[in-house]
Amino acid sequence: MIVFKDISKIYNIGDETVYALDHVDLTIKEGEFVGIIGPSGSGKSTLMHIMGCLDIATEGEYDLDGQSIDVYTDNELAAIRNKKIGFIFQSFNLLNKLTIEENVELPLIYQGVHAAKRRTRVAEALAQVGMSHRRKHTPNSISGGQQQRAAIARAIVTRPALILADEPTGNLDSKTGEEIMALFQELNIAGHTIVLITHDASVAAQAKRILMLKDGKIAEVRDDN
Amino acid sequence: MYIITNALKNLGRNKGRNFLIGIILLVIIVATAIAIIINSTASSIIDDYKGRFGSEVSLNLDYDKAINEGNFVDSGENGKGVEEITPKQYFEFGDSKYIKEAQYNASSMINFKDLKPVDDVDDPDLMVRGYLIGSNAKNISDDFKKEARKIIDGAMYRQENECIVSQQFAELNKLKPGDEIEIILGKDRVHKLKISGIFEDNTMVSGGDAAQFMEKNPMLNRNNEILTGLDTIKKLGAENVTAAFSLKNPDDLKAFTAQLQKKGLPSYYKVATDEAGYKAVVGPVENMKKVTTTFMIVVLILGAIILLLISTLAIRERKYEIGVLRAMGMKKGKVGIGFVTEMIALTFACLIIGLSVSAFASQPIADSLLKNQIQIAEEAPTGNTVSHLDFGASAGAPASDDAKPLSELSVHLDFDAAIQIILIAIMLAIVSSIMGIVYITRYEPMKILSERN
């Protein structure tokens, strides 16, 4: 599903050349639950942005579902994000003016899904994350854990094959974090490919495969598959 | 459609911000709509009066030019005198393809054969005791329209050699319609005219007490005027002619001037329109138009700047929304359409309210502005732009001294004005959306989200 071939992301800061990703080779198959661990500044977020088609590599080739994304235009990449990838951010990134239901509905609106079908899919997604009872609330009026559940519902409502989660438990207490991780396990069992980026080893430990990033280079730590 | 529906919902979701932008839009739309409505009406009035005043042409002696060209205004001395325009020339000038209407007042001094003029004096040497007046000009008929003179017996002259005489003159000479009178032109040219009607003359009444102290002179008494048709006096030979020409198109002034000069009009005669009269009547409206145009431009510039600033501030808040939407895979175009739709919907609502408000408010504002401009015009020192020297025969548009400024302006919203207002509203919607579009196209979603995080 995901193939990184000699991917590098280079930033030029003044006269200095910084490798955020340094010749990374990586393959993630469909249905995997991969945890990517690494200290701050190791290149985790850069990796996720490239994987999520939010950024492009300076060098190397990225194939998603057998096709190189280098050939896609900005709008085509947006369409790929909308259909194939669900994002979950550390800070949830919900829109505060919208209710939870409306937040979850947004990706479907822009996909052009019919209103009746939208309502069904939103209800299903919210039920899957246990947030049906909070659907009329705004993000400001619910807890962090509930906000992250809502963000997960928004990520899965379009039924993407790939879910990219960037420090999904970073802003949550340990108990809520565990609940969210349990939810990821359920989603993986349901068939979603999950790539989880974290600096917390205990969170990464719940993934079936763990990769370590350090100074832009990647190394395999564990593979239970 | 779903993007538009969502955009409309967004209007309600961001009430505070949209209310603020809406108020500013409304103020700009109302101000510009009032200015456009007033301008539109003022423009059509100005065009109308320009047509009227611009088409009425006068021939005036350019004193300085005449002197510079070696002519002496006083022809008694050495050198050539200023050439006067002869009655024959006036009639020739009126025969032009550029002329819509030529109004003539022609007169000749006359004496009467076997008839007594009113206020006669016992002077056998007196050769002139009245005037034969022939005219097709409006001011003659105006005397009758205003009832300063009115036919009390018979009818107005219709055919050649018919005339009307005053009641006093008729009573003095026991004349009635159908009678013939004999007038003497020049030294001894006798001509018969048939009386078609008798008129009552009230034009002398205004002389009042002063008239009682004036020396009796039949020439000064308007009751001795014999009124006849222009054709009759043309045939008999007019001594004095005044003419007012109306051009078919005010733009033909140059061509008409060239034609007159070709027909013998000396170059030191100025062919001019009644600019002073135009200024007196339409000046306040023109000034009002200038004020409203300036006001509109200032409001539009300031309004656009304020809108840009507010939308820049508002977009900072929406930047995050753009980031989230783009990260979720919304195309730039779709996010842009959503934003533009919001602004267009808001602008459209403001446009409806603005048009209604301005339709009611424009009339009192126009009245107030016009009143103000008339007051300014009245207080300002007046000056005539054309030096007007009358040397016997002259031609001129109606005197501008009596011209009263337009004191009422009935403003209304017409189709053209409505289109202009709608175009300005669209422009405002674009200005309001422009910052959003810039952010959508310039910034990548991760940059926006990482900045926020």
Cβ-contact A40, A199 below 8 angstroms: yes
Determine whether the interchain pair A75/B331 forms a contact, defined as Cβ–Cβ distance below 8 Å: yes
Strands, E assignment, B118-258 = 130-135, 149-154, 162-166, 180-185, 189-201, 225-228, 240-247
Q: CA B451, CA A177: separation in Å to the nearest integer?
A: 25
> Mind giving me the DSSP string for B289-307?
HHHHHHHHHHHHHHHHHHH
**Helix/strand/coil for B207:** helix
Nearest to A112 among B2, B328, B453 (CB): B2
- Tens digits of per-residue pLDDT, B233-289? 988 888 888 888 888 877 788 899 999 999 989 888 888 877 667 777 777 888 888
Residue B273 per-residue DSSP state? E
Nearest to B445 among A54, A85, A115 (CB): A54
Q: CA B236, CA B189: separation in Å to the nearest integer?
A: 9
Residue B172 per-residue DSSP state? H
**Of the spans A33-42, A213-222, B381-390, which averages the highest pLDDT?**
A33-42
Q: What's the angle, vertex CA B34, arms to CA B25 and CA B302, rounded to 5? A: 45
Q: CA B305, CA B312: separation in Å to the nearest integer?
A: 10
Looking at residue B179, its pLDDT comes to 93
How many residue pairs bridge chain A and chain B with CB atoms within 8 Å of each other?
67
- Tens digits of per-residue pLDDT, A30-48? 999 999 998 888 888 889 8
Token pair 């020739």 in the structure block, residue: B92
Using a CB-CB distance cutoff of 8 angstroms, which residues of chain B are in contact with residue A75? Answer: 331-333
Is B443 touching A (CB cutoff 8 A)? no
Determine whether the interchain pair B329/A78 forms a contact, defined as Cβ–Cβ distance below 8 Å: yes
Using a CB-CB distance cutoff of 8 angstroms, which residues of chain A are in contact with residue B15? Answer: none
Mean pLDDT calculated for residue range B426-453:
75
Residues 109 to 148 of A: which have CB under 8 A from any B CB? 109-110, 112, 115
Using a CB-CB distance cutoff of 8 angstroms, which residues of chain A are in contact with residue B328? Answer: 81-82, 87, 106-107, 110, 154
Looking at residue B397, its pLDDT comes to 43
Cβ-contact A178, A12 below 8 angstroms: no
Q: CA A193, CA A187: separation in Å to the nearest integer?
A: 8
Is B330 touching A (CB cutoff 8 A)? yes
Q: CA B354, CA B349: separation in Å to the nearest integer?
A: 8
ipTM metric: 0.84
Q: How many CB atoms lie within 10 A of CB B326?
A: 25
Q: CA B152, CA B70: separation in Å to the nearest integer?
A: 53
Looking at residue B318, its pLDDT comes to 78
Helices (H) and strands (E) in chain B, counts: 13, 11
- Tens digits of per-residue pLDDT, A116-174? 999 999 999 998 888 999 999 999 999 988 998 899 899 889 888 899 998 888 877 88
Is A154 touching B (CB cutoff 8 A)? yes
- Measured distance between the N- and C-terminal CA atoms of chain B, rounded to whole angstroms: 33
Using a CB-CB distance cutoff of 8 angstroms, which residues of chain A are in contact with residue B2? Answer: 109-110, 112, 115
Q: CA B65, CA B61: separation in Å to the nearest integer?
A: 8
Dmax (CA) of chain B: 118
Dmax (CA) of chain A: 56
**Helix/strand/coil for B137:** coil
Nearest to A109 among B6, B321, B450 (CB): B6
Pairing assessment for the beta strands A59-64 and A67-68 based on DSSP bridges: antiparallel
Q: Give the chain A residue whose CA is nearest to the CA of B7.
A: A109
User: What predicted TM-score, i.e. pTM, was given to this entire model?
Assistant: 0.62
pLDDT classification of B381: cutoffs 50, 70, 90: low
- Tens digits of per-residue pLDDT, B149-186? 889 999 988 899 999 999 999 999 999 999 999 999 88
The rounded radius of gyration (Å) of the Cα atoms in chain B is 35
Residue B298 in this model has a pLDDT that exceeds 50? yes
Using a CB-CB distance cutoff of 8 angstroms, which residues of chain B are in contact with residue A78? Answer: 326, 329-332
Strands, E assignment, B292-374 = none
Using a CB-CB distance cutoff of 8 angstroms, which residues of chain B are in contact with residue A50? Answer: none
Cβ-contact B57, B245 below 8 angstroms: yes
